């Protein structure tokens, strides 16, 4: 069997959880079958069963609005994915950027189409800030691709529930296969020099956030919670790749304001290399994930694998990763609504988050117990090898 992955992100160009998923799943699947990966970029390599080809983009002469260039650029690359001949037995799509490419492959090459749902456009209304009317197109494209897919993979049970509620899909074609973690790579390390390099004092405890600056990740809520956190520890924000200039400016203003009220806030404005990210996870007392929408939340799993207790929002797939009172604390949103924005009471959410962080940072024994339990849960339930085998079993039901 040969499968074709279509994706925006692939190493070295990764900025989100979907890219992490594609990187590790492709590596494990290639141990079992031949795999062709087509992505955005300049990659061009062959390693055994794994072939990776990046597709660039020439926007010379384009005079469309700037916020539509990512939409039209995705469609152009999806055409290029297909004009390079396809000989795979099925095509597997990752994020809306690749959906048009999969539709073309299904109709023109006659191959089954699998779609992994890493997030859902109707639950990300803030994307309109980034894409303008292009958001209406991505909503339509996602809906079309989901209904055309021969199989849909949800990365959590909560995501499956959202799919069936929002899209009226045949439940028999929706399958839950969780994200995973490389347990050899993500493990506790001692590397205080990495902390010093980024302005973090390794001799003082700290709370950590790792993620993009986007509405979905709830980073502004976390920054506003810092003023309610006890003063005896540092707060380290590894936060880069802002979605828009507006949210970047909002983040800058929020960090500046809270830094006047509470010392010890360190903002690292770049996406850290893997080894440095693992060092940050490993040395942190608590990892905080304030997402207001999260189909899975792989960052929590990364922190748990590095033996760090977690404080996270009780949303989406996070509730299937973090066990309340065992591997960390879950902070509920104010209410359940279709829009994540409306579900958050900002002040209460910030205070509840800070209270959970303060409780953990004041109790080293509790942190240690949760850290060990988190590592064990990662080992017991979230191996990429297991996820690759489940994915291949699904492929075989479609491609004979």
| Domain residue extents for the chain | 2-180+383-399, 192-381
Report residue 81: phi and psi, to 5°: -55, -35
Contact 104, 77 (CB under 8 A): no
How far apart CA 6 and CA 13 sit, in angstroms, is 14
Contact 338, 273 (CB under 8 A): no
Which CATH architecture fits 192-381?
Answer: 3-Layer(aba) Sandwich (3.40)
How wide is the angle at C-alpha 135 spanned by C-alphas 129 and 136, nearest 5°? 135
- pLDDT in 10s for each residue of the chain, 400 residues: 999 999 999 999 998 889 999 999 999 999 999 999 999 999 999 999 999 999 999 999 999 999 999 999 999 999 999 999 999 999 999 999 999 999 999 999 999 999 999 999 998 888 898 899 999 999 999 999 999 999 999 999 999 999 999 999 999 999 999 999 999 999 999 999 999 999 999 999 999 999 989 988 999 999 999 999 999 999 999 999 888 889 999 999 999 999 999 999 999 998 899 999 999 999 999 999 999 989 998 999 999 999 999 999 999 899 999 999 999 999 998 655 555 556 678 899 999 999 999 999 999 999 999 999 999 999 999 989 999 999 999 999 998 6
Please report where in the chains the tokens 């900025």 appear, as a residue: 15
How far apart CA 219 and CA 251 sit, in angstroms, is 8
Domain 2-180+383-399 and domain 192-381, same fold? Reply is yes
Contact 52, 278 (CB under 8 A): no
So what's the pLDDT on residue 190?
97
Contact 310, 303 (CB under 8 A): yes
Sign of CA dihedral 356, 361, 363, 365: positive
Which CATH architecture fits 2-180+383-399?
Answer: 3-Layer(aba) Sandwich (3.40)
So what's the pLDDT on residue 270?
87
Considering only CA atoms, give the Rg of the chain.
21
How far apart CA 38 and CA 83 sit, in angstroms, is 12
Beta-bridge partners for 36? 4, 51
So what's the pLDDT on residue 304?
98
């Amino acid at each position: 069997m040969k499968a074709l992955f279509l994706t925006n992100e692939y190493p070295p160009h990764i900025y989100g959880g979907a890219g992490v998923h594609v990187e590790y799943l492709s590596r494990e699947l290639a141990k079992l079958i031949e795999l062709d990966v087509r992505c955005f970029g300049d990659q061009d390599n062959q390693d055994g069963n794994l072939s990776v080809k990046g597709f660039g983009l020439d926007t010379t002469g384009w005079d469309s609005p700037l916020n539509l260039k990512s939409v039209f650029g995705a469609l152009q690359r999806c055409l290029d994915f297909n004009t390079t001949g396809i000989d795979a037995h099925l095509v597997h799509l990752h994020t809306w950027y690749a959906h048009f490419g999969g539709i073309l492959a299904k109709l023109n090459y006659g191959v089954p189409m699998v779609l992994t749902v890493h997030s859902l456009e109707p639950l990300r209304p803030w994307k309109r800030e980034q894409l303008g009317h292009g958001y209406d197109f991505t909503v339509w494209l996602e809906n079309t691709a989901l209904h055309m897919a021969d199989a849909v993979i949800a990365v959590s049970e909560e995501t499956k529930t959202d799919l069936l509620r929002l899209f009226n899909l045949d439940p028999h074609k929706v399958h839950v296969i969780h994200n995973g973690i490389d347990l050899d790579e993500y493990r506790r390390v001692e590397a205080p020099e990495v902390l010093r390099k980024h302005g973090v004092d390794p001799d003082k405890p700290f709370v950590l956030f790792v993620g993009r600056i986007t509405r979905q990740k709830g980073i502004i809520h976390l920054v506003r919670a810092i003023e309610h956190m006890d003063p005896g520890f540092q707060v380290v924000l590894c936060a880069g790749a802002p979605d828009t200039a507006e949210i970047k400016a909002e983040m800058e203003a929020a960090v500046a304001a809270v830094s006047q009220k509470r010392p010890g806030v360190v903002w690292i404005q770049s996406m850290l290399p893997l080894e440095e990210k693992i060092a940050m996870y490993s040395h942190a007392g608590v990892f905080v994930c304030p997402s207001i929408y999260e189909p899975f939340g792989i960052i929590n799993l990364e922190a748990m694998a590095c033996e760090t207790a977690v404080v996270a929002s009780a949303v989406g797939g996070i509730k299937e990763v973090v066990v309340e009172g065992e591997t960390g604390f879950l902070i509920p949103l104010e209410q359940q609504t279709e829009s994540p924005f409306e579900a958050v009471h900002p002040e209460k959410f910030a205070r509840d988050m800070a209270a959970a962080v303060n409780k953990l940072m004041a109790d080293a024994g509790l942190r240690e117990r949760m850290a060990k339990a988190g590592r064990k849960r990662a080992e017991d339930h979230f191996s990429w090898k297991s996820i690759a085998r489940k994915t291949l079993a699904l492929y075989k039901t479609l491609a004979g």
